Amino acid sequence: MKTQIIDEAREAAQQEARKVMEQAQLSIQQERKQAELQFRNEVSALAVDIATKVVRGEMADEKAQSVCGQSAGRYGKTKLN
């Protein structure tokens, strides 16, 4: 009788431990997925920021080159002396 009660308690404790472990594993998986998603979002945002800066820089360079080209064109047409 005593050993039966101990065995039943042991089995119940093992089942509870398995439940806790399964819940912990699920929680870890969910948190990992959430962290991966957040990481992807941050990387995407950084990529967009970098691309924006590059494009703005290229547009500024093109505008500067255009202005220089127009100025050079004007001076090239003017005769010195």
Q: How confident is residue 39, by pLDDT bands cut at 50, 70 and 90?
A: very high
DSSP string covering 17-39: HHHHHHHHHHHHHHHHHHHHHHH
What is the spatial distance between Cα 76 and Cα 69, in angstroms, rounded to a whole number? 10
∠58-60-62 over CA atoms, to 5°? 70
Q: How confident is residue 69, by pLDDT bands cut at 50, 70 and 90?
A: low
What is the spatial distance between Cα 35 and Cα 32, in angstroms, rounded to a whole number? 5
Q: Which two tokens stand for residue 31?
A: 């948190």
Could you report the per-residue pLDDT of 5-30, keeping only the tens digit for each? Answer: 999 999 999 999 999 999 999 999 99
Is the model's pLDDT at 3 over the cut of 80? yes
What is the spatial distance between Cα 67 and Cα 61, in angstroms, rounded to a whole number? 10
Give the per-residue pLDDT at 81: 47
What is the spatial distance between Cα 65 and Cα 41, in angstroms, rounded to a whole number? 36
